[in-house]
Amino acid sequence: MFPSEIKDFTKEEFSCPCGCGKNNIDYDFVKDLQIARTIAKTSFIINRGCSCEAHNKSVGGEENSSHLVGKAVDIRCLTSSKRFKIVHALLFCGFTRIGVYEKHIHVDSDDTKPQKVIWYV
């Protein structure tokens, strides 16, 4: 359970989708996500938070994926207007690693990776 300052997320939302129970989500990362969600004024539906190595491999994730260390999420996003709101809020909050995909937005706070990047797939 998160403290009351994180009002729009539950810790369970960030668990590995395979059902293994892995959940090493970084608390500071979630605090920043909460701020971005408040600014965006739209829900952030987490498609993928933490991942175990087996799940990461099964979805074609990078070997050194930030999902493995609890510093990444994929936020479901199906419309261009919602995509704009989410990306704008993430940038406003200082996130510097954002990937835009057809049905989700990836964001991470992994400082071991190149910063100030946005990619589109």
Per residue in 12-28, pLDDT (tens digit) is 999 999 999 999 999 99
Average pLDDT rounded to a whole number, residues 73-101: 98
Give bridge partners of residue 74 from the DSSP assignment: 48, 106
Average pLDDT rounded to a whole number, residues 34-54: 98
Full-model pTM:
0.95
Q: What is the mean pLDDT of the chain?
A: 97
Domain 13-120 has CATH 3.40.50.620: no
Q: What is the pLDDT of residue 3?
A: 85
Q: How far apart are CA 69 and CA 65, in angstroms?
A: 8
What is the gyration radius of the CA atoms in the chain, in angstroms? 13
